[in-house]
A = this chain, B = another copy of it.
Amino acid sequence: MNHAATAVDTQCINTIRTLAMDAVQKANSGHPGTPMGLAPVGYTLWSRFLRYHPEHPDWPNRDRFVLSVGHASMLLYSLLHLAGVVEIDEHGKRSGQPAISLDDIKQFRQAGSKTPGHPEYRMTTGVETTTGPLGQGCANSVGMAMAERWLAKRFNREEKALFDYNVYTLCGDGDMMEGISSEAASMAGHLKLDKLCWIYDNNTISIEGHTELAFSEDVIKRFQAYGWHTLHVTDANDLQALSNALEAFHCNRGAPTLIVVDSVIGYGSPHKHNTAAAHGEPLGEDEIRLTKAAYGWPEDASFLVPDDVRTHLRDALLDRSESLYEKWAEHLLQLEQYEPELADELRRMRAGEMPEHWQKHLPSFDTDAKGVASRAAGGEVLNAFAEQIPWLLGGSADLSPSTKTNLTFEGAGRFSADDYSGRNLHFGIREHAMGAIANGMALSYLRPYTSTFLVFSDYMKPPIRLAAIMELPVVFVFTHDSIGVGEDGPTHQPIEHLTQLRSTPGLLTLRPGDANETLELWKVALAQTHRPSCMVLSRQPLPTLDRTRYAAASGAAKGAYVLAGGDEPEVLLLATGSEISLAVAAYEQLKSEGIAAQVVSMPSWELFEDQDQAYRDSVLPPAVKARVVVEQAGPLGWDRYVGQTGAKVVMNSFGASAPLAKLQEQFGFTLENVVKQAKAQIQLTQH
């Protein structure tokens, strides 16, 4: 097929390039070089291949375009502008505005604009995921492609496909070097995700200079080793070759496709092309004039969109996608008619709603002094919810026997290249990719969860942060949540991790104290629509508290509640998770000595801070200054609740390798010590 560039193609491409140059120059900040180099790639993909309806940017079966090179945001903004994509909110409501107007482009990187420095999901219609931290978009796109396979299995009927979208990812040298993309690529190859296409911008320039400074591997061979199809386009400006490669991708079966495209960063800039200087700063007025001249562009025009360009890309998208969209809508109507329950399921998924009876058939846990590890209770609870929520699915970075997150009910199955309908995901020992893949799935109507040990939250902090920025209700399960890990020692015992998670804006950190709190907090996590949760669970058994004697576990949903005591307490005992039972034991001991204590179970600081002042004061009466916190984790942040003079029975160092009981003795997590600290607090505050 003849795919050579036409005059209008060239005009469009140069429009994208010059918009990027002009916007960065006006903002006096940004990255012009990559949009200039990749404009033909983005344009070819959008104009000739992308199945995308500009009037329906929330069409569930649209092809996904992921700009993993998020710094090249102007490329995406220009495409969205030229495509005439309309603005919609998250409920599909139209504002009557374009997703990106020319004025928006002129407001690039300014306060309150729709064109921030890096593309931000929820801020700009058409941005499929927030990108910028390198490698994340690549791994997100694997999650989107996995979601497509799962959705196809669930919703497609014979020839009537509701889901058969492709996922295209633009990535760069950084993506190729970051470990997370290696993990994600290995997994995509393993899962044979043949609707996934990564386009690697091989411009050989990174910030420190030529990539040969640090990068000399054979990328194509590496991806072949992962089981990918590979293609090589040796000139990013060759629209024919690009089109051939994208057509080849469509024919490739049984494996994802990598297209390596040799490009020139800052293409057309006489003095800055092919240099790091074109990467992250404005070209400068003079160089912009020279570059425009090189394109045959009016040198004095700024933010110019020529008339013949104005609707060209939009028309091309409509030509290709309008009938596809209509056929899709017809399929959906048929689903609504013949399988209304399934259609309702899809509606709920799109709306972020839970099934009607998602809280039915939940387990409850009887009082049990020996108790059960919260990881085990968590597994039981998760299974109960998952049976009611068909699109709740997830897995572990090779630790499910330990994290207890396997879905064991009939039909849960294993997600694999042989059966994409499974709901148990085997991420392999790839925590970082796991987090970002979960984000990609959450961006695709699914409710994913992940699991590993709490100490390894360190390996996946970047996607946890991005889930919080994007407001994705992913549930990150972390077990083995303290020195309760015992003999595995300090490398496996989290200390600072609760603080790390609590310090991340927009993230719920949930650390239940027994099986019934675990149930309540899983409910909270699943009820979220805009907040990710970290479910922090114990390795060791925790007594299941007698809820006739102590307060109901439902209080956990408020973040903190009075578990025991309450009448004019002399001292407050604050605790979370596995330390709740120790606090309760201390309370009983003090009571037997005639001292009134109050135990505050505090599984979630964030939920507690959401409560009004009156409630907070009822839980932590301001008049009671004698306070002790007991938590097998680092101290940072507890001053907020126990004050500067409160006692902290916490971990002030790394842990050690020994049986838990020994460690608890060594680090002061004993009944004796907690009681002693409580009495000392009473003494201190009475003076």
Contacts and interface: CB of A to CB of B under 8 A. Distances in A.
Interface of A: 27, 29-30, 70-71, 109-113, 116-118, 120, 130-134, 173-174, 177-183, 186-187, 189-190, 206-208, 211, 213-222, 224-227, 276, 280, 396, 398-402, 414, 416, 426-433, 455-456, 458-459, 461-462, 465-466, 468-469, 486-492, 495-496, 499-500, 502-506, 634, 636-637, 639-640, 643-644, 651-654, 656-659, 662-663, 666
Contact of A428 (B177, B430, B466): B177
- Top 4 nearest A-B pairs (CB, nearest first) are A179-B179, A214-B428, A116-B657, A111-B658
Contacts of A652: 505
B186 A132 contact: no
**Residue in A173, A186, A224, A654 with the greatest tally of chain B CB atoms within 10 Å:** A186
A219 B186 CA distance: 10
Contact of A401 (B208, B214, B399, B662): B208
A487 B399 CA distance: 40
B653 A505 contact: yes
Contact of A208 (B182, B218, B400, B465): B400
Contact of A190 (B217, B500, B637): B217
A206 B500 contact: no
A118 B226 contact: no
Contact of A178 (B179, B226, B639, B644): B179
Contacts of A490: 116, 120, 469
13 contacts: A111-B656, A118-B491, A177-B186, A178-B459, A179-B179, A186-B217, A218-B227, A222-B225, A469-B490, A469-B491, A502-B636, A639-B640, A643-B644
A602 B182 CA distance: 40
B458 A462 contact: yes
A685 to B, nearest CB: 14
A430 B504 CA distance: 23
A226 B215 contact: no
Each complex incorporates copies of this chain amounting to 2
A194 B422 CA distance: 44
Contacts of A428: 177, 206, 211, 213-215
Contacts of A499: 499-500, 503, 636-637
Contacts of A112: 658
A503 B638 CA distance: 12
Given A216-B190, A428-B177, A491 B132 contact: yes
Contacts of A663: 111
Given A111-B662, A182-B183, A217-B227, 8 more contacts: A29-B486, A111-B666, A117-B488, A132-B488, A177-B429, A178-B431, A190-B217, A503-B503
Contacts of A658: 109-112
A85 to B, nearest CB: 20
A131 B491 CA distance: 8
A101 B362 CA distance: 53
A187 B206 CA distance: 15
B120 A489 contact: yes
Contacts of A206: 398, 428-429
B117 A657 contact: yes
Contacts of A427: 214
A643 B642 CA distance: 10
B488 A118 contact: yes
Contacts of A179: 178-183, 430, 432-433
Contact of A396 (B30, B208, B399): B208
Contact of A489 (B117, B183, B432, B489): B117
A633 to B, nearest CB: 9
A222 B266 CA distance: 31
B503 A429 contact: no
**Residue in A178, A276, A416 with the greatest tally of chain B CB atoms within 10 Å:** A178
Contact of A496 (B214, B280, B500): B500
Contact of A461 (B461, B468, B657): B461
A133 B183 contact: no
Contacts of A181: 179
Given A658-B111, A663-B111, A487 B29 contact: yes
A214 B120 contact: no
Contact of A636 (B399, B466, B487, B637): B637
A88 B71 CA distance: 51
A76 to B, nearest CB: 14
Contact of A217 (B226, B657, B659): B226
